[in-house]
Structure 1
Amino acid sequence: MGAGGRTCVPPTPRKQGENEEHHRKRVPHTKPQFTLSQVKKAIPPHCFQRSVIRSFSYVFMDLTIASCLAYVAVNYFSTLPHSLSLLAWPLYWAMQGSVLTGVWVIAHECGHHAFSDFQWLDDSLGLLLHSFLFVPYFSWKYSHRRHHSNTGSLERDEVFVPKRKSGIRWYSKYLNNPAGRVITLFITLTLGWPLYLAFNVSGRQYERFACHYDPYSPIYSHRERLQIIVSDVGVLAMFYGLYRLVLLKGLLWVVCVYGVPLMVVNAWLVLITFLQHTHPALPHYDSSEWDWFRGAMATADRDYGILNKVLHNITDTHVVHHLFSTMPHYHAMEATNAIKPVLGEYYHFDETPIYKAMWREVKECIYVEPDEGAETNKGVYWYRKML
């Protein structure tokens, strides 16, 4: 079984110190003895089958729940006593943001052609759902595809690319304390997603300015430019729709009903992605060592409790998603359990509570460096916490 892998038998409880040491154990970084074909053969064939009806059932479920939550908030919160209303709105924001993150995950699945067997259907629905959440669908689809093609590469990965020690900014030492980490987390969770889309913050370094809204951005090829414009039109259409809604209902109404839940969606998206690719036990590679297979396995599955289901298991089946990205989410858990015996220690699952994991990774994963004094594997980089 993989490091931290789950079996049908509950794991033996560990003391806190043992649990931490268990999750710090590095996954192997050498080329595995098994192949991608062997991993695929371990997965039941039906896991690769996509069903339009089943996929749409999740869209219907999510949108129905989101509509019911909005209906209750709009029609009943104003009738509550003021003290209860102050409690009801944050609860609504958390629940609605989580449900809409599930909608985001389905749109992400469309971008991977994992929703159905029809590319036109996947792109049409993905464009609609992502535009509703202010995501430029095709723009992100293509940059995310490049992320999947280059996961774990220090030169070519597209998102949450770790810095080497030489790339640490001068002000980092002033943020390397509890107050600084709180500030870092707050900015990352609130502004991280829009800053990435607009300015490629935390993304791959390009020779010139990179932006997801620019059809001539270095992120994209010439043949992709028209679709980038289509993505921009989708986002602009949503802007216009919100503008009309503000005129009709008022700015505060739109912020409370839609704006704050959207911020929750963005926060979940950034946190989930950050924790999938940032862990002391996971290696990164430079061009002398990197290959696609090892890079794809150098990700972590996490446990978000009941939110695993709300978020359509994007949280605890991320390893298999990187290996087989066209697999629909409703087969990913079965596939994950099937590949664990094959991956062995190359599979990493961390059940550390998310709030603890978030703080730990911000504290300990500051930059990457090869092991000091290592004569071999100089192209393998690990996270360090000491500035």
Structure 2
Amino acid sequence: MNGDAASALGTVEPAQKTAMHESTKQMVRRLAAHCNTFRGSIPRMAISQILSTLIPLAVLVVAMFATVKTAYWATLLMAIPAGGLLVRAFIIQHDCGHGSFFGSRTWNDFVGRCMSVLTMAPYGLWKREHAVHHASSGNLDRRGAGDIDTLTVREYQALSNFGKFRYRFYRNPLFLFAFGVPAYFLIVQRLPWFHALKPAEAFKSVMGLNIGLALFYGPLIYAFGVTDVLSVVVPMVVVASAAGGWLFFIQHQFEDTIWEKADGWDFQVAALMGSSFYDLPKVLNWFTGNIGLHHIHHLNSMIPNYRLQACLNASPELKSINRLTIMQSLHCANLKLWDENRRRLIRFDEIQAA
């Protein structure tokens, strides 16, 4: 079923709707079986990905420190590819959290925690919250864990004027990606509050990373000073978090995504049909660890990122589901609300028609 068919579900007769749902389920089950053949780690590919991420990142960071006092414009330019490498490091951490990067839980947890010192995302916290995201993605009754906050048209219309202003402000792309996501990575994730985990679990994960950050960056601050370290690290993290935030947004916030009430929600259908295939140029796929193939990742999170492309290449059918180009994705930034009647995301100016 393509996006147009998904949008049409709200207008067809009940019998036809049931038939369409069953047809979709059969397709999803078939593709899930295909994806399952690509699960499992390949150690040499995992190690190669770590080395191809950390070595160029280290070279760039050294060059950034070398130019921070004499040519800061060059430092800022280098923050762009360095930020891209941090995104790649985060995808490694992300796969470790899923238990797919290596076959060993011990190695997954060790590498994931090491990467978290670079990404500034607490490993245990992200591992648990992201698992909840996968278990509830597309479920209207279980929103709020690891999601971009999304209201239905009815929920938005029931808000006070201030509530509507607050939601509009939050969903503004400039605020969300230039300020909100970077602030979340740099500040909120340093605090053991405001998270979905139990306070004790969140405290252990967040404060554990804070100690790790102090041990890692302390010697750098001693050698170069606080100002120079911040001048190098903050631009990298801002680039990485803004780019990563956009990727996370576009993975589920597109017009023909699907949301269902709990009684009609199906895990595999929501995973495949509610996630996008962000068809990026090869160089961007490399920096982002193929996470644009998100429909495959949600259908089977045990496929490591370095096997996603092979899974896609082996199934032409997967290439046609929820495909978005970069130009098409830019329009998704204007989508703000889920219309339960038309079964698609809409812009604010479409509310009256809803």
User: CA separation in 2, counterparts of 1:312 and 1:145?
Assistant: 19
Q: Does structure 1 residue 160 correspond to structure 2 residue 139?
A: no
> What's 1:192 paired with?
181
> For residues 276-302 of structure 1, what are the alpha-carbon distances to aligned partners after superposition, in whole Å with 9 as ceiling and x for unaligned?
110111121122321112210111111
Equivalent AA in structure 1 for residue 62 of structure 2 = Y
User: CA separation in 2, counterparts of 1:171 and 1:256?
Assistant: 37
Q: Give the alignment partner of residue 40 of structure 2, picking from 35, 39, 49.
A: 49
Q: Does structure 1 residue 331 correspond to structure 2 residue 302?
A: no
> What's 2:322 paired with?
348
User: CA separation in 1, counterparts of 2:279 and 2:207?
Assistant: 34
CA contact (8 A) 2:195 2:202 kept: no
> For residues 111-164 of structure 1, what are the alpha-carbon distances to aligned partners after superposition, in whole Å with 9 as ceiling and x for unaligned?
011111101110111012113321111111011001111110112142124112
Q: Any gaps of 5 or more consecutive residues in structure 1?
A: 4-23, 80-84, 201-210, 373-380
CA offset at residue 97 of structure 1? Answer: 0.4
Describe the shift of the 1:258–1:53 C-alpha distance in structure 2 as closer, same or farther (beyond 3 A). same
CA offset at residue 198 of structure 1? Answer: 7.6
User: CA separation in 1, counterparts of 2:254 and 2:163?
Assistant: 19
> What's 1:34 paired with?
26
Superposed counterparts of 1:59-138, under 5 Å: 59-76=50-67, 85=71, 87-138=73-124
CA contact (8 A) 1:136 1:212 kept: no
Describe the shift of the 1:26–1:285 C-alpha distance in structure 2 as closer, same or farther (beyond 3 A). same
CA contact (8 A) 1:140 1:212 kept: no
Counterpart of 2:100 in 1: which secondary structure?
coil
The TM-score normalised by the length of structure 1 is 0.74
User: CA separation in 1, counterparts of 2:280 and 2:76?
Assistant: 20
Counterpart of 1:141 in 2: which secondary structure?
helix
CA offset at residue 247 of structure 1? Answer: 4.1
Moved more, 154-163 or 102-111: 154-163
User: CA separation in 1, counterparts of 2:195 and 2:205?
Assistant: 18
Q: Does structure 1 residue 219 correspond to structure 2 residue 196?
A: yes
Counterpart of 2:137 in 1: which secondary structure?
coil
Counterpart of 1:314 in 2: which secondary structure?
coil
User: CA separation in 2, counterparts of 1:142 and 1:197?
Assistant: 19
Q: Number of residue pairs matched?
A: 328
Q: Does structure 1 residue 246 correspond to structure 2 residue 221?
A: yes
Describe the shift of the 1:273–1:213 C-alpha distance in structure 2 as closer, same or farther (beyond 3 A). same
Superposed counterparts of 1:284-323, under 5 Å: 284-297=259-272, 298-305=274-281, 306-315=283-292, 317-323=293-299
User: CA separation in 2, counterparts of 1:59 and 1:196?
Assistant: 22
> What's 1:204 paired with?
none
CA offset at residue 383 of structure 1? Answer: 1.3
Q: Any gaps of 5 or more consecutive residues in structure 2?
A: 10-20
Describe the shift of the 1:280–1:212 C-alpha distance in structure 2 as closer, same or farther (beyond 3 A). farther
The TM-score normalised by the length of structure 2 is 0.80
CA offset at residue 194 of structure 1? Answer: 4.4
Counterpart of 1:34 in 2: which secondary structure?
helix
CA offset at residue 96 of structure 1? Answer: 0.5
CA offset at residue 185 of structure 1? Answer: 2.0
Question: Identity of counterpart residues, as a percentage?
Answer: 17
Counterpart of 2:230 in 1: which secondary structure?
helix
CA offset at residue 233 of structure 1? Answer: 1.0
Q: Greater helix percent: which structure? A: 2
CA offset at residue 100 of structure 1? Answer: 1.1
